[in-house]
Chains A and B, each alone.
Chain A
Amino acid sequence: MRRLLTVFFAVWVVVGLFAVVRITISGWPGNPVEEATIKRAVDTFNNTIGKQKGIEVVWEPIAGDYKQVLMTRLSGGTGPDLFYVDVYVFEELARANVLLPLDTYVKRDNFDLNDFYPSLIEAFKYQNRLYGIAKDFSTLALWFNKEIFDKYKVPYLTNDETWDSFLKKLQQLKAAGFETPLALAPDFNRIIPFIISFGGRLVKPDLSTALGEPNSKKAIQFYIDLVTKYKVAKEPSALGSGWLGEALATEKCAVAMEGPWTIGFMRGSFPDTFKKMGIVEMPKGIKKATMIYTVAWSINRATPNRDAAWEVLKFLVTEGQRIFVEGAGVLASRKSIAAQDKDPVKQVFYKGAEYGVPWRVPTPTGIFSIANDQIGSLLKDLFAGKLTVDQAVKIIEDNYNNWVKK
């Protein structure tokens, strides 16, 4: 009996030693190419560091409305251990205290933050604490289909396009018989480069909305006019596509402002169309502007396995990032990896980092998601011609404080 117990105990100890810590990581499911890349990163971890340290990573993408599901899971206490945090909801999550500050880990491991673009580190700080590390970043550039431009005999778009010359080329395409030259999304973040380049701003210094200011309004008007007045643009769903990149890849439009994530998608699923693509910088108004999107890996404060989660995070923003940059076409948030990224197609996107603005709207409470939903909804109305820009801006100004309230 005693021997049996000893054996049992020994087995228990051994099993305990080799017990694998399971770390669930979540994000939104990307296109198949992105999915494959992240799975590759996860496999690499599991077969190297994971094997040594007894950590098993499971990639569990959240389908549907990411933030909605994530919030439900966090409040139900079933959140993933490590997850994507989009910079535009970052402050809301940080204030809700669901993210684990990483400063001690950074210090303990001498983790080199200086290798990251400073603005991407700053983007995930709140009250002087670091709550996430940028997994990568993206900017927007102007994609166009050279074959269509050739066919309709319209000169190519260039790096020095202004909004006027841009519009003119779209109108030429339309006049020559190409029905919908441009695909535009009714999303607030897509208008931001317009607003900035028109000399507008998103918020006033007191953090109230500045969308009613003349320059901002002019920019919104121009964006909507492309759809309703000049009729050179439509939203992707009106073209039978799920998103801009798909509309471009299936040649339902000739031009779209898209990010580097489309590179991986097109190379993987539409290699023929990809060869026809030209990519140049965004058109400019008073100044140059583009959008910087960035997503961080953050640790769930409630995870029972913080140390293991940190090991995974570290991998994902170093070796994992290399895999991701090579595979999915996104831009490296780490300067050393960016320097090695010689992909010529991507250079125009890296360039955008110099003058782009991050996708983050500061508010007094850190909450912007309700306002984002509401403005997005108004944009759909504007696209459908149910509202004028003046009316929409009035609604925004009247309700903005309610939307950003806790």
Chain B
Amino acid sequence: MKGLRLKYRTKEAIVGYLFAAPVIVSVLVFAIYPIFAAFYYSLTDYQPLEARKFMYVVDPYGALELHTGILREEAGNYTLDELLANFDPIQFVQLDLGVNLDDTEKELVKRYFDSASLISDFREGKLPERLKVSEFMKRYMRAYGHKFSKYVPKFVGLQNFEDIFSDKLFYTSFWNAFLYSLVVVPIQTLLAIILAVAANSKIKGVGFFKAVFFLPAITSSAALSMVFMLLYSKPGVINKILVAIFGKFGFQPIDYLNEPSIALFAIMAMNIWSTAGYFMVTFLAGLQDIPSSIYEAAKIDGANKFQMFWKITMPLLRPQIVFVSIMGTIGCMQVFDQIYFLVRNLRNITISYYIYKNAFEYGKMGYASALAVILFAVILILSLIQRKLIKEQY
């Protein structure tokens, strides 16, 4: 009996790992490794264009023709010394082969590059036609050829972080993300609660309202951004309606997305609009769990509707509130799509957009990783605080 039990346990462990393996492997490869890599990158000057430099396939004849100004078929007309006299290995590798070198690499090329053997191969037509930079260097470096096979970003220590703290756009973009959460999260939460309370007050057609309020949540932020780009444009319909109503009080059409002091708030409004209905469902579920006897008792004690709302509903909804605010904060701190689509002015960008811009437009992946690490730290702190609030609750 005991033996059988053990056997079952072993089987369970094997099947358990088998079942969990895809998720575990995927997490290791696509989450754990990248996190360590990101921390490492943040201490380097990782440049994506450089990262490919040893993988390029080069044409040594073409490069030498370019360097010497002598075509391959003419090369035999010159002596080795004549050709060598005009040959500069660093310039050759850097400009004609097209491999940017850092200072150490330059020094290595200066010392160990076998110019004579390259030039004589060129003269005798023995150069390979096409090969990878790494193979080329292995072939024509007298030593240390292997140093040219894998890109190693330059280790810069905390330089990126130092730069970040003097980067005005870092503060701007970070503050914007923070402001974004600070405005969006409370308003959307409150709005969602109000909608949930309204939907919970014994009315007909709750299903209909729920369906309608879900609509923005299932629409992609890209499509919503396009729609709001139209609504928010200066000659757009929002201005037209506002002018029709407030025109006589001197209301002037506003260019919502181009006005730097308004643009971000306009995007926030869109975000609140698109998520409040979604979170309302969460609160509605919470409300339906509150036993009506509590309200009955409060009524007997003479409490009015507002008192009931603040003294009973809100405290009992606290788990949902905390949850929605955590989700909201994490989401808002990382807002990207809407910013990518709608922001026209660097003054209004958020940190995730700034990270994207640095990594993929400016090619500063080291710097971008450092920014991401800071964002990570901040989100971690924020969610730890919020998690603590949850613990208190239970």
Contacts and interface: CB of A to CB of B under 8 A. Distances in A.
Do A and B come into direct contact in the complex, CB within 8 Å?
yes
Interface of A: 65, 67-68, 71-72, 74-77, 95-98, 100-101, 103-104, 107-108, 127, 129, 235, 237-240, 301-302, 304, 306, 369-370, 373-374, 376-377, 380-381, 384, 386, 395, 399, 402
Interface string B67-92: 00101000000000000000000010
A68 B95 contact: no
Interface residues of B, number: 45
Given A237-B258, A402-B166, A377 B59 contact: no
B98 A402 contact: no
A68 B261 contact: no
A381 B57 contact: no
B215 interface: no
Contact of B361 (A68, A239, A376): A68
A95 B50 CA distance: 11
A98 B234 contact: no
30 contacts: A65-B361, A67-B361, A68-B357, A71-B49, A72-B360, A72-B361, A75-B48, A75-B49, A95-B100, A97-B99, A101-B66, A101-B95, A103-B66, A104-B65, A104-B66, A107-B65, A107-B71, A127-B95, A237-B257, A238-B258, A240-B234, A301-B56, A302-B56, A306-B59, A369-B361, A377-B347, A380-B260, A380-B344, A381-B345, A384-B260
Contacts of B294: none
In the complex, which of the residues A240, A373, A377, A395 has the most CB atoms of chain B within 10 Å of its own CB atom?
A377
Given A101-B96, A377-B345, A384-B259, A302 B52 contact: yes
B341 to A, nearest CB: 10
Contacts of A101: 66, 95-96
A380 B258 contact: yes
Interface string B351-381: 0000001001111000000000000000000
B260 A77 contact: no
Nearest to B166: A402
B49 A399 contact: no
Contacts of A67: 361
B361 A399 contact: no
Nearest to B95: A127
B123 interface: no
B66 A96 contact: no
A96 B95 contact: no
A302 B97 CA distance: 11
Contacts of A395: 168
B71 A68 contact: no
B305 to A, nearest CB: 45
Contact of B69 (A76, A97, A107, A237): A107
B255 interface: yes
B167 interface: yes
Given A97-B53, A98-B49, A75 B71 contact: no
Nearest to B45: A406
A71 B363 CA distance: 7
Nearest to B358: A370
A381 B255 contact: no
A96 B98 CA distance: 9
A135 B269 CA distance: 45
Contact of A96 (B100, B234, B346): B100
A369 B363 CA distance: 11
B233 interface: yes
B360 A68 contact: yes
Contacts of A302: 52, 56-57
A377 B99 contact: no
B95 A369 contact: no
A129 B95 contact: yes
Contacts of B59: 306
Given A68-B361, A237-B234, A402 B167 contact: yes
A67 B361 CA distance: 7
Contacts of B315: none
A127 B95 CA distance: 8
A104 B71 contact: yes
A68 to B, nearest CB: 4
Contacts of B94: 97
A75 B71 CA distance: 31
A97 B95 CA distance: 7
A173 B361 CA distance: 42
Contacts of B163: 402
Contacts of A98: 49
B342 to A, nearest CB: 12
B235 interface: yes
B346 A374 contact: yes
B51 interface: yes
Contact of B260 (A103, A104, A107, A381): A381
B98 A240 contact: no
A238 B98 contact: no
A306 B55 CA distance: 17
Nearest to B99: A97
Contacts of B363: 71, 75, 96
B216 interface: no
A237 to B, nearest CB: 5
A172 B96 CA distance: 59
Contacts of A239: 234
B62 interface: yes
Which 5 pairs, one residue from A and one from B, show the smallest C-beta to C-beta distance? Answer: A75-B48, A377-B346, A68-B361, A240-B235, A97-B98
Interface string B243-264: 0000000000001011111000
A369 B362 contact: yes
Given A97-B98, A101-B95, A237 B255 contact: yes
Given A71-B363, A75-B49, A104 B345 contact: no
Contacts of A381: 260, 345, 347
